[in-house]
Structure 1
C-alpha cells in the first residue's frame, strides 16, 4: 500500500491566499505547500487506487504529484474542502464509485451519501455507494471502514484502510475533536500509519472564542474550540491508538514558522509505504 499525502492543509491551506504571515512566507521560501486535505492510496498488488476526500485542489494535486487517477473515492463529510473537488470528475472518468456514509445526519436531514447524490446529480459518471459505519467495504482490493468521530454540527467519519493480503493498515482521524467514541478508537487502533487532524498548537486555544476542551492530565487542551484536535491532542490520540507512525495533517498556517515544518507535521507530497 503506497500512501501519498496530496493535501495536508486546512480550509485555507498554506500558503494562504493573500497572506504574508511569517509561516506563509516561510512555506513559499521552502517551496512547500499544504493544500486542502486529500489522500491517495495505491494498492500496488492490484494496480488500483483510492482517493480519500475530494479536495478543491484536485486538479493541482494530480498535475503536480506522480499518482494515477483513482479507481474509487471515499468522502468523510460534506464540508467543501473535503468534497467540492468531486466536480473535477467531469470528463475524467468513465465511472467513479464514491463511497459515503448512509446514516442520516440530524443537522441536514440526509446522509453524506444522499448529499453527494443531490449536489452532484449532474455528474452521470459518478456513482454514489452507500457505506454503513463500522461495516467494511471492499474496493480497490482494500477494506475501507468509516467510523463516526466528533465534528459538530455535522456528522463526520474517520477511516481505516486495510490490505487484506498484507495486513497493512492506514487510519485517519477525520476532522474531529479529541472526543472520538470508544468503538471508533477500537476500529482505528494499531495502524501502521495514522493521519491525525492537528489544526493548531494547544496554546492557541486562548484565541478561539470557545477556547479549548478535552484537557489532558496537565490541563493541556486536546480540542481547539469544538471541531478539531490540537497538536497535543492528536499526539495523545496517536499514543492511545498505538500508532506505529503518525503524521499530523489538516494544519493551519497559524503554526509559527519555527514549529510549522517540524516533525511530525506533514507537507504535501509525502509518500509512505505500508
Structure 2
C-alpha cells in the first residue's frame, strides 16, 4: 500500500502559510497532501483506492501507482471526494463503493451524494454499501465502519485479505468516540492508519476545546471531529494494532513534533 496523502484539509505545507512547520516542510521537501490511500493486491494485480483527494492527479503522477480497479469514498467532505473528477478520460469505468445509510444532515447517503453530485461522470458506477457488512472487492474483504465525525456521517474502513489474513484498518476522520461494533471490525490490524490532526496540547486553542480525556486529563478528541495524536495512539492500543501510522495531520504541529514518529508523510509504502 502507498500513502498518497497524509494531510488534513489544507495539507502541509499549506498555501500561503509561512509558519515554521510549513517552512521546514518546504526546505526538506516533505509533503502531506490531502488524504488518500492506494492498496494493491499483488496476487491479483488489482488495486483499491480509498478516497479521492483533490490532489489525485499530482499524487498518482508523483508515486507512479496503478490506476485503481475500484474505490471507496468514506464521506463527502471535499478533501476526501473532490478528486473524483480526475477520472475523466483516465478510466473506462470504475466501481465506487460508498455507504447507503441516510445522513440526517443531508437527507442523502454518501452513495447518493456521490451519484448525484457526479451525475455527469459517466465512467463511475456508484455501489451503495451497507456499513458493517463486508463486501468482496479486488480480492479483499472490505467493510465500511461507522465512526464519529459530526455533523456528517463518516466511515472508517477495514480491508482484509481472506487468503493471507493480512489486515489494514483506517480510522477515517473521527473523534475518539468510535462505537464498539466499529472497534470490533477495525480490531487486530497489521497496520492502522489513524486520524491524528494535532497534539493534545493544542486543544486549548480550539473553540470547543478537547474531550474524551484519559485518566490523566489528556484530551483524545480535538474539538468534536478528529482525534488528537494521543487519542489516535490510545485507539491503536485499544485495537491492538501491530503497527500504526498517524495521518490526516495538520500543519499546526510544532516543527519539533511535526515530523516525528509515528506521524506519516506522503509516499510511505507498506507490505503486509
| TM bracket (short chain) | over 0.9
Q: Separation in 2 of the partners of 1:254 and 1:212?
A: 15
Structure 1 match to 2:40 = 42
TM-score, with length taken from structure 2: 1.00
Q: Map of 1:193-232 to 2, 5 A cutoff?
A: 193-232=191-230
Q: Separation in 2 of the partners of 1:128 and 1:197?
A: 26
Q: Map of 1:1-274 to 2, 5 A cutoff?
A: 3-274=1-272
Q: Separation in 2 of the partners of 1:240 and 1:29?
A: 37
Deviations along 1:94-149, whole A, 9 cap, x unmatched? 10100000000000001000000000000111000011001111111111100100
Matched residue count: 272
For the residue of structure 2 that corresponds to 1:183, the secondary structure is helix
Deviations along 1:159-181, whole A, 9 cap, x unmatched? 00001110000000000000000
For the residue of structure 1 that corresponds to 2:59, the secondary structure is helix
Deviation at 1:66, TM superposition (A): 2.5
For the residue of structure 2 that corresponds to 1:118, the secondary structure is helix
Q: Separation in 1 of the partners of 2:128 and 2:113?
A: 11
In structure 2, stretches of 5+ residues that fail to align are: none
Q: Separation in 1 of the partners of 2:30 and 2:245?
A: 16
Q: Separation in 1 of the partners of 2:256 and 2:213?
A: 25
Deviation at 1:29, TM superposition (A): 1.1
For the residue of structure 2 that corresponds to 1:87, the secondary structure is helix
Q: Which has the larger displacement, 8-17 or 64-73?
A: 64-73
Deviations along 1:199-226, whole A, 9 cap, x unmatched? 0000000000000000001000000000
Deviation at 1:71, TM superposition (A): 0.5
In structure 1, stretches of 5+ residues that fail to align are: none
Q: Separation in 2 of the partners of 1:134 and 1:45?
A: 25
Q: Separation in 2 of the partners of 1:225 and 1:259?
A: 20
Deviations along 1:178-211, whole A, 9 cap, x unmatched? 0000000000000000000000000000000000
TM-score, with length taken from structure 1: 0.99
